[in-house]
Amino acid sequence: MTRRNLILALIVIPILVVSGFYLRALVRHMFFENRPRPEDEMRTQLSQQALQSEAGAEQQTVTLYFPNFEAGTLVAEARQLALAANNTDRIRQIVLALIEGSKQGHARGLPASAALRAVFLTSDGTAYLDFPNEVTQNFPVGIESETLAIYSVVESIIANIPSVKRVKFLIQGREVDTLDGHADLTGFYVSSQSTAAHAPP
């Protein structure tokens, strides 16, 4: 190899190596990295809208219900929230607050990884809550835990939004038999004042 070719090789080889690494990173970025799905983006946007609608609104005391597994009941927790003017956004705010969890150390009904796909409120006072499939991931499975989770949502919404009379749970937009194998989701839930799964504050 001549001196000229040697110098040329010493220049070209590093350029080729660097280009190779760059192309590899580019391909990974374009095709393999997890990008937020449109549905996730939509959910985030809706949740942000619900939270932004608080801005400027007056703080109100709302009552949230969390499970007490030892007693098989719900316990009430007062929370200051700037509730939105729109009832649909209010429902979303309350569910998001339940997902956020108790600030007084109570147990969690919905898992922290839960999200809400959509909320609909019909003129007869039925609130439709549409959760994604992932709501059952990291969910505490069982009759008691599912019952308490359902009623924590139902009681929290009905206690704070009087126009809501009953709640219907959907998973991924569809009616399902159960939340996670135990609690019946085929019906419409109304407030329960007598069940042992609920204890008024």
Q: Which residues bind other proteins (CB under 8 A)?
A: 69-70, 72, 107, 140-147, 150, 166, 177-178, 181-190, 192, 194-197
Measured from the CB of residue 122, what is the shortest distance to other proteins in angstroms?
15
Cα separation of 163 and 175, whole Å? 23
> Closer to other proteins at the Cβ: 47 or 73?
73
Closer CB to other proteins, 45 or 122, in the complex: 122
Which residue, 6 or 141, has its beta carbon nearer to other proteins?
A: 141
Produce one character per residue of 7-16: b if its CB has 16 or more CB atoms within 10 Å, e if not: eeeeeeeeee
Find the shortest distance in angstroms from Cβ 63 to other proteins: 21
State the nearest-atom distance from the C-beta of 136 to other proteins, in Å. Answer: 11
Identity of the residue, 17 or 141, whose beta carbon is nearer to other proteins in the bound complex: 141
d(CA 78, CA 169): 24
Smallest separation (angstroms) from other proteins to the CB of 142: 2
Helix axes 87-100, 143-160, angle to 10 degrees: 140
Cβ proximity to other proteins, 134 vs 184, nearer residue: 184
Instruction: Name the minimum Å distance from CB 100 to other proteins.
Output: 20
Question: CA–CA separation, 100 vs 136, rounded Å?
Answer: 16
Residues 6+ away with beta carbon under 8 Å from 58: 82
* Amino acid at residue number 103: K
CB of 40 to other proteins, least distance (A): 25
Distance from C-alpha of 111 to C-alpha of 191, rounded to nearest angstrom: 22
Q: How far apart are CA 152 and CA 98, in angstroms?
A: 8
**Quick one: 53 or 152, whose CB is closer to other proteins?**
152
